[in-house]
Amino acid sequence: MNKLLKSTLALLLVAGMTVGCENFLEPSVDQAIPTETAIPDAAALSAVVLGAHDYMNNTGLMGRDFPVSMEVMSDNAWSNGNSGRFIAQSQINHTVNSGYAIGQWDGWYQVLSNLNLAINADLPSSPAADHAKGQAHALRALVHMNLLMQFGQQNVSGGDASLGIPYVTTYSEGNLYPARDPIADVWSKINDDFATGISLMDPSQSDITVINYWAAKALQTRAFLYQENYAQVISIAEDVINNSGYSLTSADDYVAIWNGDSSPGSMFEMAYSESDRTGNNSIARIYQNTNYGDVEVTDELYNMHDDNDVRKALYSAEDEDPSDARPLNYRMVGKFVVELGNDNVPVVRFAEVVLNYAEALAATGNNAQALVQINSIAANRNAPLHTSGSIENVWMERRLELAMEGHRFLDLVRTGRDIESVDPSQTIVGGTVPAGSYLFALPIPQAEMDANSSMVQNSGYN
Partner 1 sequence: MLKKLQLSLIFALLFSVTAFAQSGTITGTITDAETGEPLLGAYVFIESLQKGAGVNLDGEYTLSNVPVGTYTLTANFIGYKTFSSEVEVGTGTVTLDIAMEVDLIGLDEVVVTGFGTIDRQAFTGTVSSVSSESLESVPVASVDQALQGKASGVVITSSTGTPGATQDIRIRGLSSVNAGVSPLFVIDGVPVVNGNFSGSGATSSLGVLANLNSSDIESITILKDAASTAPYGARGTNGVVVITTKSGKAGNTTYSFSAQRGYNNQAVDGKEPASAALWDELYVEAVNNAFGPGYVSSSPWDGETDTDWGDITRRDDAVQQEYTLSARGGNEVTNFYASAGFFDQEGFVIGSSLNRFSGKFDISHQLDERVKLQNSFTGSWVEQDGILEGAGYFGSPILAKFFIPAIYSPYYDDGSLINNASDFGTSIYNPLYTQQNDIDRKRNSRVTNNTKLDVKLMDNLTLTSRFAVDVILTEEKFYNNRIYGDGDDVGGDVWDTNRRNFNYVWQNTLGYVWVPDVDHSFNFKAISETQRNYQRYLWGDGQGFAADGLYNISSTGGERDASSTTSDWAVQSFTGLVNYGYQNKLFFDGSVRYEGNSRFGQDDRWGTFWSVGVGYVLTEEDYLADLDWLNFLKVRASYGLTGNASVGINQYQATVDFGSYNLQPDIQTDNLGNNTLTWEKANSLDIGVEFEVFDKVSGGVTFFRKDSYDLLFNVPLSRTTGHNAQEQNIGELYNQGIEAELNVDVIRNRDFKWNIGANLSTLKNEITKLPVDGNGEVIEITGTTQYRASLGLPVRAWYMREWAGVDPANGDPLWYMDDGNGGRTTTNSYNSADLYYQNANPLPTLFGGINTRIDVKNFYVSTNLYYSFGNKVYDSWAFYMKSDGQFYTAFGYYQEQEDRWQQPGDIAKNPKPVFGGNQNSNSNSSRRLYDGDYLRLKTLNLGYNVPAKYLQNIGLKSASVYFLGQNLWTYAFDDDLGFDPEVDAAGYLNLNAPPLQSVTFGVKVNF
Cβ 303 to partner 1, closest distance in Å? 20
Quick one: 113 or 188, whose CB is closer to partner 1? 113
Which residue type does 31 have? Q
Cβ 182 to partner 1, closest distance in Å? 16
What is the three-state SS of 240-294?
Answer: HHHHCCCCCCCHHHHHHHHHCCCCCCEEEEECCCCCCCCHHHCHHHHHCCCCCCC
Quick one: 174 or 365, whose CB is closer to partner 1? 174
CA 301: distance to chain centroid?
22
Contacting partner 1 within 352-381 (CB under 8 A): none
Reduced to 3 states (helix: H, G, I; strand: E, B; else coil), residue 150 is helix
Query: Do 260 and 267 form a contact (C-beta atoms < 8 A)?
Result: no
Contacting partner 1 within 383-442 (CB under 8 A): 424, 427
Site size toward partner 1 (CB under 8 A) is 97
Using CB under 8 A, which of 76, 91, 212, 220 touches partner 1? 91
Using CB under 8 A, which of 159, 182, 436, 460 touches partner 1? 460
CA 238: distance to chain centroid?
24
Cβ 376 to partner 1, closest distance in Å? 32
Cβ 12 to partner 1, closest distance in Å? 6
Query: Do 103 and 442 form a contact (C-beta atoms < 8 A)?
Result: no
Using CB under 8 A, which of 271, 348, 351, 383 touches partner 1? 271
Quick one: 97 or 199, whose CB is closer to partner 1? 97
Max CA-CA distance within the chain?
Answer: 110
> Own/partner pairs for 1-5, CB < 8 Å, 24+ apart?
none
Quick one: 33 or 328, whose CB is closer to partner 1? 33
Contacting partner 1 within 65-84 (CB under 8 A): 80-84
Contacting partner 1 within 20-59 (CB under 8 A): 20, 22, 24-36, 38-39, 44, 47-48, 50-51, 53-55, 57
Quick one: 208 or 248, whose CB is closer to partner 1? 208
Quick one: 163 or 402, whose CB is closer to partner 1? 163
Contacting partner 1 within 291-320 (CB under 8 A): 291-293
CA distance 194 to 190: 6
Quick one: 51 or 382, whose CB is closer to partner 1? 51
Quick one: 290 or 390, whose CB is closer to partner 1? 290
> Own/partner pairs for 308-313, CB < 8 Å, 24+ apart?
308/382, 308/383, 308/384, 309/381, 309/382, 309/383, 309/384, 309/400, 310/251, 310/254, 310/255, 310/381, 310/382, 310/383, 311/254, 311/381, 311/383, 311/400, 311/401, 311/403, 313/255
Cβ 327 to partner 1, closest distance in Å? 15
Using CB under 8 A, which of 11, 13, 184, 368 touches partner 1? 13
Q: Which stretch binds partner 1 (CB under 8 A): 103-111, 188-196, 296-304, 308-316?
A: 103-111
For residue 139, state whether it binds partner 1 (rule: CB under 8 A): no
Q: State which H helix or E strand residue 104 sits in.
A: helix 99-119
Do the bridges between strand 329-332 and strand 77-79 make them parallel or antiparallel, or are there none, so unpaired?
A: unpaired
Quick one: 170 or 369, whose CB is closer to partner 1? 170
Cβ 99 to partner 1, closest distance in Å? 10
Using CB under 8 A, which of 126, 199, 243, 273 touches partner 1? 273
For residue 168, state whether it binds partner 1 (rule: CB under 8 A): yes
Contacting partner 1 within 178-237 (CB under 8 A): 178, 209
Quick one: 287 or 292, whose CB is closer to partner 1? 292
Contacting partner 1 within 324-343 (CB under 8 A): 324-325, 339-340
Q: Which stretch binds partner 1 (CB under 8 A): 67-75, 217-225, 241-249, 289-297?
A: 289-297
Phi–psi pair at 174, nearest 5 degrees: 75, -160
For residue 176, state whether it binds partner 1 (rule: CB under 8 A): yes
Buried b (16+ CB within 10 A) or exposed e, 8-31: eeeeeeeeeeeeeeeeeeeeeeee
Cβ 403 to partner 1, closest distance in Å? 23
When computed from its CA atoms, the radius of gyration of the chain, rounded to whole angstroms, is 26
Do the bridges between strand 77-79 and strand 266-270 make them parallel or antiparallel, or are there none, so unpaired?
A: unpaired
CA distance 53 to 270: 7
Quick one: 189 or 399, whose CB is closer to partner 1? 189
Neighbours of 368 (CB within 10 A): 11
Query: Do 181 and 166 form a contact (C-beta atoms < 8 A)?
Result: yes
Using CB under 8 A, which of 3, 4, 17, 242 touches partner 1? 17
Reduced to 3 states (helix: H, G, I; strand: E, B; else coil), residue 175 is coil
8-state DSSP, 432: E
Quick one: 22 or 307, whose CB is closer to partner 1? 22
Query: Do 59 and 277 form a contact (C-beta atoms < 8 A)?
Result: no
Cβ 233 to partner 1, closest distance in Å? 29
Cβ 82 to partner 1, closest distance in Å? 5
